[in-house]
A and B are shown apart, each in its own frame.
Chain A
């Protein structure tokens, strides 16, 4: 038995040969489990990417050959192109709407103590808790009763309701750590309130705003139930088109569109991480 000096390892050294074997076993099983979890988390996604290059006419595994024809088919299809563009419009539009309404509210909540502040915060965060199916059905019924046209604007509005909590949460997390004396200093130096916000606070919370915006964009891309209720034949969206294609027949086109969607999401994530350290807000 080797002699060790540190007190903790000394205890370990006093353990029997059996105990040490037990530790080795524990180490191996932890490594094995982490490997298993890594496979579990990645395999379904990797498989979809592989299938999108498969030559077979239906979804199967393993792939029988390599081709880009499904991507070519998407590029050639008016419907798929419109769906992808529509989803991008919805994503950007709803994100802008959520940021424009959410950031001022977060600022007020952080800076002023007023009656009903907690209630307001609960309201702003509550869309996180409402099942998307329920909200989709509710806003569809409302939209129909109000005789509003079911166009892309309906989906933009619905998605930004869902996006508001993400903007408020990330901005608030940063705002509560900014001392009010920052604005006070700007005010003392002669800036009016608007100027103090634009020149002092906004630069300090811009990373939070960008991160919140990217969460909005992401949620808009992956939300299926809400656009499922609101989408019509004239306003197809990517996520609903993928879903209905999965319901009817699955040729690898679905896999190819999913891969394109994944690429869009990863790009947004990457930009968010580089520009605004998105990971800090998770």
Chain B
């Protein structure tokens, strides 16, 4: 009797119907359709299996140029991931362990990049790094350089800009893990004679690596999928996959090839997602 009563208090399965229908139509179907288009299907719903071909992928993986773009995209993801991890770790540590009054201000500042978005930060770095920008006008007025330096349209500009945009996505996961580490563990190491640095490197850092890994995967994915900033701060020779997808669609107007490129990018992000799931499962096994 009690069991059936409890069962009746459970909500009905109809509740998921709207979201499932919605996502099936406007999320799953478009995804399937872009995969179909990547293998040569024309942009219409009438199924034309005779047109199916691997030509787009052969073109992609057969060309040194496109392979270079692919490698560059992954390299950018790694570079931004590493730089962000190194820069954001001390700030995450500060946010968790400091007792300074500036801490809550710093927490707010850490949230800024996530909130203002890529457009505004890109514009900001265009002004900082530009020919008539902040750094050049400073250098010229001090007299260190006579001609304005070219800092835009470089690999460095892209890394600096993306590091800024994605700072929040690294700092928050690291801070979340650091918060779960009892400071007395580090204190124990100190009491046993380890210096502050030693205690940090051998005790706190290894315990917090999970947060770094989570942040790294997020930053890797977001930077290798970024469009706005690489398009404006990266140069002609620095094209990455998302920029190439947009160009193939809007400039070359090659719908099938742009779909193939999108499928490759999608494959990367699914790999990252699997890695993420694997990590959380590992943690569940470990604890």
Q: Does B245 contact A (CB under 8 A)?
A: yes
User: Which chain A residues lie closer than 8 Å to B132 at the CB level?
Assistant: 58-61
In contact, B26 and A161 (Cβ under 8 angstroms): yes
Which of A42, A60, A193 is B112 in contact with, Cβ under 8 Å?
A42
Q: Contacts A104-B19, A145-B43 hold; do A131 and B128 have CB atoms under 8 A apart? A: no
**A120: chain B residues within 8 A (beta carbon):** 16, 20
Q: Is the CB of A108 within 8 A of B26?
A: no
A139 touches B116 (CB 8 A): no
Q: Does A41 contact B167, Cβ atoms closer than 8 Å? A: yes
Among B16, B121, B122, B276, which residue has its beta carbon within 8 angstroms of that of A105? B16
Cβ of A58: which chain B residues have Cβ within 8 Å of it? Answer: 132
Interface of B is mostly: helix
Q: Which of A148-184 contact B (CB under 8 A)?
A: 157-158, 160-161, 164, 180, 183-184
Partner of A30, one of B26, B94, B110: B94
CB distance from A108 to the nearest CB of B (A): 4
Q: How far is the CA of A193 from the CA of B10 in the complex (A)?
A: 9
Of the listed stretches A44-52, A68-76, A205-213, chain B binds: A44-52
Determine, out of B50-58, B59-67, B208-216, B262-270, the stretch whose residues face the partner at the interface. B262-270
Q: Are A134 and B125 in contact, CB atoms less than 8 angstroms apart?
A: no
- Interchain CB contact under 8 A, A246 and B232: yes
Nearest-CB distance from A32 to chain B (Å)?
11
Contact A100/B45 with A40-B164, A41-B167, A131-B242 known, Cβ cut-off 8 Å: no
- Shortest C-beta distance, A31 to chain B (Å), equals 9
- Which among A34, A44, A127 has the highest number of chain B CB atoms within 10 Å? A44
Classify the interface of chain A: helix, strand, loop or mixed. Answer: helix
A275 within 8 A of B: no
Is A262 an interface residue when CB atoms closer than 8 A count as contact?
yes
In this assembly, does A204 line the interface, its C-beta being within 8 Å of a C-beta of chain B? Answer: no
Given contacts A131-B266, A134-B266, whether A111 and B11 have CB atoms under 8 Å apart is: yes
Closest to B115 in A: A265
Contact B45 A51 (CB under 8 A): no
A102 interface contact, C-beta 8 A: yes
Min C-beta distance of B201 to chain A, whole Å: 14
> Which residues of A (61-109) have their CB < 8 Å from a CB of B?
61-62, 97, 100-102, 104-105, 107-109
Q: Which of A111, A133, A161, A187 is close to B27, meaning CB atoms less than 8 Å apart?
A: A161
| A139-B122 contact, Cβ under 8 Å, with A8-B191, A41-B110, A243-B228 | no
Q: Which residues of B contact A223 (CB under 8 A)?
A: 117
Contact present for B11 and A193 (CB under 8 Å): yes
Interface members, chain A 213-245 (any B CB < 8 Å): 218, 221-225, 228-229, 239, 242-243
Complex-state Cα separation, A158 to B10, whole angstroms: 32
Cβ contacts under 8 Å, A139 to chain B: 26, 30
Distance in angstroms from A250 CB to nearest chain B CB is 7
Could you tell me the distance between the alpha carbons of A160 and B187 in the complex, rounded to whole angstroms?
Answer: 47
Task: Tell yes or no: A55 within 8 A of B by CB.
Answer: no
Chain B residues with CB under 8 A of A30: 90, 94
Whether the Cβ atoms of A38 and B106 lie closer than 8 Å is yes
Interface residues of B in 105-134 (CB under 8 A from A): 105-106, 109-113, 115-128, 130, 132-134
Q: Name the CB-closest residue of A to B125.
A: A44
A261 to B119, CA, bound (A): 10
Beta-carbon contact of A193 and B27 below 8 Å: no
Q: Is the CB of A141 within 8 A of B37?
A: yes
* B115 CB contacts on chain A under 8 angstroms: 218, 222, 265-266, 269
A146 within 8 Å of B by Cβ? Answer: yes
A-B contact pairs, 11 of them (CB 8 A): A33-B90, A37-B91, A42-B109, A102-B19, A112-B11, A133-B227, A139-B30, A141-B33, A145-B45, A184-B6, A225-B246
12 further A-B contacts with Cβ under 8 Å, apart from A37-B106, A61-B134, are A41-B109, A45-B121, A48-B124, A59-B132, A61-B137, A105-B18, A108-B11, A108-B13, A129-B272, A131-B265, A133-B225, A133-B242
8 smallest A-B Cβ distances: which pairs?
A: A44-B124, A222-B117, A131-B225, A142-B30, A104-B15, A138-B34, A138-B30, A101-B19
